Amino acid sequence: MSRLIVISNRVSAPTADQPGAQGGLAVALTAALREADGIWFGWSGETGETVAPKFETYDGVTSATIDLPEQDVEEYYDGYANRTLWPLFHYRLGLTEFERDFQGGYERVNRLFGEFIGPHILPDDLIWVHDYHMIPLGWVLRQRGLTNRLGFFLHIPWPPTRLLTALPDHRRLVEALFAYDVIGFQTQEWLETFHDYVVTQMGGSIHDDGSITVGGRTICAIACPIGIDAREFIAGASSPQAVATHRRMIESSIGRSLIVGVDRLDYSKGLEERFNGYQRYLETRPEARAVVYLLQIAPPSRASVQSYQDIRAQLDALSGRINGAFADIDWVPLRYVNHGYPRDVLAGVYRAARIGLVTPLRDGMNLVAKEYVAAQDPENPGVLILSRFAGAATQLDQALLVNPYSPDDIADAIERALAMSREERLARWKPMFANICNEDVNWWREQFTARLGGA
């Protein structure tokens, strides 16, 4: 059996400092790394001079991290990854910053990773690189003479060709992907937009078996949607902490229906539009006031980037305006919370919520939608309202699908969800639940690694 080497910007394998599992991806990859005696490489999150990777083996899994100089963090992570690629790949050309220094920093850090990781790779290792931070890494490793099987998975959308061509040197970025043997996207839609680029910009051809040839090099590109660790999440939903949270939520709701949103505070998640949709609901259905409330949990992320500071300030103002306009002496329409919670607490919150409101403007997948479905009471499930522009909408098509830009669409869906019979709720929930159990995170990992292993 080959070893598996995972490389991503940050490592979320458990360590002595942080022993708990940190989300589905960590759980799935950790299990695979343990079985395959592998290593997970990434940035430590610290700034400092880059020296040899720091190895740590905890509970059978080895992680290896490097520090990065401050300038590299600014140009590679804050810069090219989060100010250029993230907004562009989420269709936000207006928020995209094009700085040559960012691109330089991005390529420099990818070379640095190659330099530090390269010597630790054995000839038979399977290498799996993750996400937009690391696109050129495969190419860097090939330059170093590596002939291993190399895979890449993109967790975010692939943008339409005409958007992508706004990126200076877009072709250089895409060409780097051809150093991999297998590349994976979350959905068929992103795979097809990638095909479009390859055909129209590179003169490549797509074969019946899904492989792609450009200039004599053939690679395999697949759609492979990520799932959650359904079994772990379902078990978590009946843990003591979840049950206590559920009780606390029901008590504090005093008979009102809870609508819940849980997101990183990010402009791609459509929070402003969601608040506007909720406001439209309150405005147009005065009789519904005081019988619902929205709990939005949104811990800040990427706070050093201006566009994230801006969205945070806008949401602070908007949530204040909504509460100012609609609150009563014994009712607050919007509880807006800016910090994270342990997964079992989230599970209890999801279960207490009559509606899961998941309305990103664009999202590679969106795991919150899947977690909401997993946490429901099988006898009396709530309703998922889901953006059609989330990758998850292709699998969770029994949700109430909405256009997240339309406040009326969101308001109508809230009304419909609150009035929905138990029978219809069950009929919608059951196939979604089956999907998240069948196509869970282990299924995703096996699909990808089977291709990577040459199947």
| Residues with active-site annotation | 155, 363
* Least distance CB 214 / ligand ADQ (angstroms): 26
C-alpha–C-alpha distance, residues 396 and 432, integer Å: 6
> How many residues form the binding site for ligand ADQ (CB under 6 A)?
19
* Least distance CB 284 / ligand ADQ (angstroms): 29
226 lies in the site for ligand ADQ, by CB under 6 A: yes
Q: Residue 41 corresponds to which amino acid? A: F
Q: Tokens for 214, please give them.
A: 């450009």
Q: Who's near 68: CB < 8 A, 6+ residues apart? A: 43, 44, 46, 47, 48, 50, 76, 77, 109, 112
Q: What is the dihedral of CA 392, 396, 398, 404, to 10 degrees?
A: -10
Burial (CB count within 10 angstroms: exposed 0-12, middle 13-18, buried 19+), residue 87: buried
Q: Exactly one of 142, 155, 170, 231 binds ligand ADQ (CB under 6 A); which one? A: 155
300 lies in the site for ligand ADQ, by CB under 6 A: no
* Least distance CB 179 / ligand ADQ (angstroms): 22
The residue among 363 and 440 lying less far from ligand ADQ, judged by its C-beta, is 363
* Least distance CB 385 / ligand ADQ (angstroms): 15
x-marked contacts with ligand ADQ along 177-206 as a string, rule CB under 6 A: ------------------------------
* Least distance CB 73 / ligand ADQ (angstroms): 19
C-alpha–C-alpha distance, residues 393 and 407, integer Å: 19
- Nearest of 344, 155, 348, 369 to residue 232 by alpha carbon: 344
Q: Residue 193 corresponds to which amino acid? A: T
Please, which of residues 327-346 interact with ligand ADQ by CB under 6 A? 340-341, 346
- Nearest of 131, 7, 107 to residue 62 by alpha carbon: 7
Q: Exactly one of 273, 344, 371, 409 binds ligand ADQ (CB under 6 A); which one? A: 371
410 lies in the site for ligand ADQ, by CB under 6 A: no
Q: Tokens for 423, please give them.
A: 């029978």
The answer to whether residues 164 and 190 touch, using CB atoms and an 8 Å cutoff, is: no
322 lies in the site for ligand ADQ, by CB under 6 A: no
Q: Exactly one of 32, 33, 156, 271 binds ligand ADQ (CB under 6 A); which one? A: 156
Q: Which residues of 393-414 are buried (b: 16+ CB within 10 A; e: fewer)?
A: bebbebbbbbbbebbebbbbbb
368 lies in the site for ligand ADQ, by CB under 6 A: yes
Q: Exactly one of 110, 359, 366, 387 binds ligand ADQ (CB under 6 A); which one? A: 366
Cα separation values, 72 from 43, 178, 340, 389, Å: 11, 25, 28, 33
* Least distance CB 377 / ligand ADQ (angstroms): 19
x-marked contacts with ligand ADQ along 103-132 as a string, rule CB under 6 A: ------------------------------
C-alpha–C-alpha distance, residues 187 and 175, integer Å: 21
C-alpha–C-alpha distance, residues 345 and 348, integer Å: 5
Q: Exactly one of 4, 183, 242, 365 binds ligand ADQ (CB under 6 A); which one? A: 365
The residue among 150 and 358 lying less far from ligand ADQ, judged by its C-beta, is 358
- Pairing between β-strand 400-402 and β-strand 292-297 as defined by DSSP bridges: unpaired
- Pairing between β-strand 182-185 and β-strand 150-153 as defined by DSSP bridges: parallel
* Least distance CB 341 / ligand ADQ (angstroms): 4
Q: Exactly one of 72, 125, 363, 440 binds ligand ADQ (CB under 6 A); which one? A: 363
373 lies in the site for ligand ADQ, by CB under 6 A: no
Q: Which residues of 311-321 are buried (b: 16+ CB within 10 A; e: fewer)?
A: bbeebeebbee
**Chain-centroid distance, C-alpha 37:** 26
393 lies in the site for ligand ADQ, by CB under 6 A: no
The residue among 72 and 229 lying less far from ligand ADQ, judged by its C-beta, is 229
The residue among 21 and 127 lying less far from ligand ADQ, judged by its C-beta, is 21
- The stretch near ligand ADQ (CB under 6 A) out of 3-11, 192-200, 252-260, 361-369 is 361-369
* Least distance CB 356 / ligand ADQ (angstroms): 11
C-alpha–C-alpha distance, residues 36 and 445, integer Å: 13
Q: Exactly one of 23, 69, 300, 453 binds ligand ADQ (CB under 6 A); which one? A: 23
The residue among 104 and 342 lying less far from ligand ADQ, judged by its C-beta, is 342
Which residue has 């439209």 as its token pair?
280
Beta bridge partners of 4: 126
* Least distance CB 318 / ligand ADQ (angstroms): 18
Q: Exactly one of 28, 258, 262, 318 binds ligand ADQ (CB under 6 A); which one? A: 262
Q: What residues make contact with ligand ADQ under the rule CB under 6 A?
A: 23, 155-156, 226, 262-264, 297, 299, 340-341, 346, 363-368, 371
